[in-house]
Structure 1
C-alpha cells in the first residue's frame, strides 16, 4: 500500500502488540502526526534515524518502556506536541533535547517516568518560549521549581522530590489555569496565588505550607477546584472565598485551621464538595437562614 501522502496516523488505545520498526516511518515523508500510545508495542529505533524520519509536529509514544530520550528527537525541530508518559526514562532531561525543541514545542508530557531533573543552566529557567502544557507528575525531579514561561497554561508537577517553596514569579503567570504542586514543598503560602484571574485548578496538597490562607478570590476569578489538604495552614478561612462563584470543590482537610463552620460558603451556586476534616473547627453548625444554602452540595466531611 502506497501511503506516501499520509499526514496523520492515529493507532492509539488498541491491543496491538509486537515490535515497531521506527525506520518504516522514514518512507512517509509527509507524516506530521503519529499517535501510537496505549498499545502493547515496543520500539526498535536505529541510531542513524535522525536525518531520514519525517519532521513530526505531534508525536505520542506513551507506555513503550523507553529508558532514555530517543536520539532522533535531536532532529525534530518542528515538534509542537510530544507525549512520553509512562515509560521508564531515567536521569535528567538532556540539554540537546531542550535546544532541539525550544522554538515550537507547546505540549510536553513526561509524567510517570524516573526523571531526576533538568540539564540546564543555574538560573533554572525552562527554555520553551511557547509552552502551554508541561506535565512531570510522578517522577523523581529534585531541586527547586523551574521558572516557567509566560505562555504556560497547565503545569502539573505533583509527586516529585522538589524542595523549597513557590516563587512569587508564579503569581505573574497570567494564563495559568492548572497548577499541581503536591508533595514536599514548604514555606509560606504565596499571598498572591489565589487571586489569579485565570487559575481554575489549584492542587497544593501534601506539602508543608504554613501561615494563614490568603484572600483567595478577592478579585475577579475562575477557581473551580482548591485542594490545600495535608499542610500546616492556620487561622481562619478568608471571607473572600464567598466570591469564588465558580468553585465546585474545596479540600482543607488535615491542617490547623481554627474557625467556626463556614456557613457563608452556602451561597456558592455550583459548590459540590466541602472537606474540612482534621482541623480545629468549633461551635455550632447552625441552621441555614434560608432554604437555598448549598444548593448543589454532594459531599461534606466534618470528621475529626
Structure 2
C-alpha cells in the first residue's frame, strides 16, 4: 500500500462532488474503480454464491460465457434459464464440468419477461439459499448502434477478471450495509436513465412499491439489469411471486412492460431492504472527466460508501 495514494484518495473523498448535468439524474453518483489498488482477502469459504444466468443467445455466446465464468475466483452454483430444450442440452453439455461451477441447474421457461421473469419470478425461491448473487444474461441490443458493445461493457465490469470479482466481494465483506453493486452506465445510455413511462406499471406491482416510489421523479437503476447483490437486497422484488403471465409474449417491446418496470426498481428494492447500493467502473470504458474514485486501501472503500452513498428513497436507508 502506498500511503501517498491513500492520502490523495482520502482527500478526494473529503471534497464535495461537483454537479454534472451529463451524469443526470444522480450527479452525486461517483463510481468506485475496480480492480482495487491493493490485494483484498479472498471471500470466506462459507459464503454461498450463485450466478443466475439467463442464456437466450446460447449458440453464439457459449464460448464467451465460458471465458467469463473462468474469471470467478471461487466455485459457485450456477442457475441457467433458457427457453428451449435444445439450448438447455447445449448448456448442460458445455458447462457440467466447468472448473468454476460447483453445482449446475438448467431450467426451461417460456420466452416471457426476458431476463427479468426467469430470475425474479421463476428463480425467486432459489435466491434464499445464497449470500451473494450475480444477475447476468446474454444481452443483445440491435436497435441502436451505440449499444453494440453494451454486453461486453457490462460483462467486463462484473466478470472481467478474478481481481474485479474479488474487489466486488471485498466491498460486500468490508461493508455489510452495501446490498447491490452495478456497473456505472455506458455513456451512450445515460439519456435513457429515467422512468420511461413505467412508473405507473411499477407502482401497480405492489402497495409497498407504490408507496415507496410515489414521490420519486428521478430514478436510477442498473442499466441492462446486470449486477452483483446480496439476496436480501432483492427480497422486496422476490416476494412479489411473479408468474410468467405477469409478462406479455415477446414482441421486441422497447418499454412499457413489467420487465422494464422491474428493471427500474432494483436500487429501490435494495433501499427498501435497508441496504445501500453503489456503482463500479473500469477506467478504460469511461472518460477521464467522469467521477471515478480509486481505492488503495480498505479504509478508502469504507469511506467511499460513507461519503458517496446516494439515496433514491426520501430519508435514506
Q: TM-score, normalised by structure 1?
A: 0.21
Higher relative contact order (CA 8 A, sep 6+): 2
More helix by share: 2
- Say which one has the larger Rg: 1
More strand by share: 1
Q: TM-score, normalised by structure 2?
A: 0.21
